[in-house]
Amino acid sequence: MLEGWRRQQSARYLKGATIGPRLRLIRRMALFTGLYPWQWTPVEGEAFIDQLRNGDCPRAVSTARGYEVTIGLFLEFLLDARYGWAQVCEQRFGEVPAQVFHEGNSILHRVDYEGDPRRRPLTYDEVQALFDAADARPGRIVERGVKGALGAARDAAVLKTVYAYGLRRTETSKLDLVDLRRNPKAPQFNGFGSVMVRYGKSSKGSPPKRRTVLLVPEMDWIVDVLDYWLTDLRPRFCPGRHPALWITERIGRLSPRSINEAFVAAKRAAGLEEHLDVHCLRHSAVTHWTEFGYPPRFVQEQVGHAHAATTAIYTGVSDEFRNRLLLASLKGRLGAAWDVRA
């Protein structure tokens, strides 16, 4: 059954990173219940989710819903008459698979965003504190007389790039030198006016999405950062003909996990809240672009969202920005009368 379901998903060109966890979840369900899939009932499904919710490491609502969906997809495959598994089970075991999750016992999707509410954009001061801490790490490593100063300098440049272009960590990891482009409309940014993202987050069964991210004038400080990386720091890694923009000490491509670790190290050195993660830099870019006055559609295209609602979730503008909008609106409506009243 599992092999057939694997082939079905593979035929849809789903990624191995999607198929593998799904198969492991079904095995976990079977191990938890001690029953075969054709013996599962809603009671087993509810007990499995209850254990996930109240165990030592409670799962998030979105994670538990994903588990319910995956189990439902597997049982849907077994019940599909085109594959014949229901008939086989009835003939051999006298039992037929049934869906274990239904409207009465499954998690409803009531809101657009169910992530950790503590995940948020960083303020301008927090971004500066993070970058200051990242810049200070190489010097502190040298003072201790240990290796890693060059890697720490690279990590500082990586984090600044994530924020300046609003990138995901995987997108950042997979950037090549050729992905740095000149923007003819902004020649003052030299060869860093745009970044070609060739490995954007893909939809199920589709190849990675591509997009071009333009450098905005408010982030022009990244030009000096990237120029220093390419002309001074990167050659010290002796990368040879390696195409990757971000190189490790072993002449490999910097991994998304390493980018995450770089953020954690800088975050803790800066004394920022522990629950913040590297993806918060992407939220920060969306928020700050909005506060700079760029249109919502432009921001949406910059980060590669298919829907404006997704971009809106990322946005957490400051009270100061909202007050500026309010004052501008009042002044536009009341004119001179508002100036006198103010």
Q: What is the tens place of the pLDDT at every residue in 309-318?
A: 767 766 665 5
- Asked whether the beta carbons of 6 and 26 are under 8 A apart, the reply is no
* pLDDT surpasses 90 at 88: yes
Q: What is the tens place of the pLDDT at every residue in 106-128?
A: 887 655 555 566 678 899 999 99
DSSP state of 185: T
CA 124 to chain centre: 21
The length of the chain in residues reads 342
Of 228-232, 251-255, 261-265, 324-328, least confident by mean pLDDT is 324-328
Average pLDDT over residues 134-157: 94
Average pLDDT over residues 226-240: 96
> How many Å from the N-terminal Cα to the C-terminal Cα in the chain?
72
**What percentage of residues in the chain have a pLDDT greater than 70?**
87
The predicted pLDDT at position 22 comes to 96
- Which residues are designated catalytic? 168, 201, 279, 282, 305, 314
- Asked whether the beta carbons of 38 and 95 are under 8 A apart, the reply is yes
E-strand ranges in 113-234 read 180-181, 194-200, 209-214
The predicted pLDDT at position 340 comes to 45
Whole-structure pTM value: 0.74
Name the residue ranges covered by the structural domains of the chain.
2-93, 124-279
- pLDDT bracket for residue 323 (50, 70, 90): low
Taking Cα atoms as reference points, which of 262, 197, 190 lies closest to residue 226?
Answer: 190
Does domain 124-279 correspond to CATH entry 1.10.443.10?
yes
Taking Cα atoms as reference points, which of 335, 285, 331 lies closest to residue 311?
Answer: 285
Average pLDDT over residues 233-255: 95
